Amino acid sequence: MSEQEQAREPERKGRKIVITLPREVVPKEAKQHVRASVREMLLAFRSVLDSAIECTEQDEHPESRPVRINID
């Protein structure tokens, strides 16, 4: 790819790799590894979301202390 073509191409923050193979070519063990890695990626994403939700909830409900109000 020339420098001009690279300059016109939008900036990408992530990369995606797609490999298409017939099912009968992929060994059972490889399928299990892929399935496990997808599960781990989803669990990591869940952890990030849980943390973000927790931070949001803490901002909405800061821990408060009792306040003494004097009544005359």
3-state secondary structure 1-31: CCHHHHHHCCCCCCCCCCCCCCHHHCCHHHH
**Amino acid 37: pLDDT:** 95
Is there a domain that residue 34 lies in?
yes
How far, in Å, CA of 26 to CA of 35, rounded?
A: 13
How far, in Å, CA of 37 to CA of 42, rounded?
A: 9
Is there a domain that residue 20 lies in?
no
**Amino acid 23: pLDDT:** 87
Domain count along the chain: 1
Domain of 50 in residue numbering reads as 25-57
Is there a domain that residue 13 lies in?
no
pLDDT in single tens digits along all 72 residues of the chain = 566 555 566 566 677 778 888 889 999 999 999 999 999 999 999 999 999 998 888 766 666 677 788 887
Rounded to 5°, angle at Cα 69 from 66 and 58? 30
